């Protein structure tokens, strides 16, 4: 016998336990909206980005070594897509996204992936990742040198 259809039952936010009590919620909202917390968070992200970019380059090597093993390719490209854009490797992330979508769509359609499309994406991801990492290194060097130059000029001005 089929179960009788149940009417939807709504449980209001005042009924179930909330993440924070009222007083803490007000303080937490001030924290989340404070520029200081956002600056701290952005600084924390910056410290994570270096190791993450290195990890992406390792994934790229794994990706190239995977050859035509589409399961392995998907695993690595999923990792790359997962955080390339978060660490500023935008082009790498977009190409990885394109390959992930293609592989997802082919799986949903029950069709095999085209080896040429796979190989072209892998080559493009590798090229983009190495270029973006190179650009990043150059950018950091230029920024560091400019910071030294600015500090020196300011110091000269202070000394009169």
Partner 1 sequence: MSGAGFENIRALIVEDNAHMRSLLRALLNSAGIKEVAEAAHGGTALTVLRERKSDLVLSDLAMKPMDGLEFTRQVRNSEQSPNPFVPIIMITGHTERYRVEAARDAGVTEFLAKPITAANLFSRIAEIIERPRPFVRCDSYFGPDRRRKAIENYAGPWRRQDDFQDRELR
Instruction: Catalog residues that contact partner 1 under the rule CB under 8 A.
Output: 3, 5-13, 16-20, 24-34, 36-38, 40-45, 47-48, 51-52, 55, 78-79, 81-83, 85-86, 93, 97, 100-101, 104
| For partner 1, the closer CB: 64 or 79 | 79
Q: Within 10 Å of residue 153's Cβ, how many Cβ atoms?
A: 10
Q: Is the dihedral of CA 119, 120, 123, 128 positive or negative?
A: negative
Least spacing, CB of residue 42 vs partner 1, in Å: 5
Least spacing, CB of residue 44 vs partner 1, in Å: 4
| For partner 1, the closer CB: 16 or 116 | 16
Write out the H or E segment, with its range, that includes residue 65: helix 35-66
**Is 127 exposed, middle or buried (CB count within 10 Å of its CB: 0-12, 13-18, 19+)?**
middle
Q: Please, are residues 88 and 49 in contact by the beta-carbon 8 Å criterion?
A: yes
Least spacing, CB of residue 158 vs partner 1, in Å: 32
């Amino acid at each position: 016998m089929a179960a009788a259809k149940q009417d939807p039952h709504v449980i209001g936010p005042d009924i179930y336990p909330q993440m924070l009590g009222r007083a803490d919620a007000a303080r937490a909202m001030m924290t989340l909206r404070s520029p200081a917390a956002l600056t701290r968070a952005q600084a924390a992200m910056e410290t994570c980005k270096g190791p993450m970019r290195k990890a992406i380059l390792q994934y790229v090597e794994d990706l190239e070594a995977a050859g035509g093993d589409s399961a392995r390719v998907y695993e690595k490209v999923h990792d790359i897509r997962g955080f390339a854009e978060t660490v500023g490797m935008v082009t790498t992330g977009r190409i990885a996204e394109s390959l992930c979508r293609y592989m997802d769509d082919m799986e949903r359609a029950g069709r095999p992936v085209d080896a040429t499309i796979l190989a072209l994406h892998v080559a493009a991801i590798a090229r983009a990742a190495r270029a973006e990492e190179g650009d990043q290194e150059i950018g950091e060097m230029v920024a560091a040198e400019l910071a030294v130059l600015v500090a020196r000029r300011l110091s000269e001005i202070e000394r009169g």
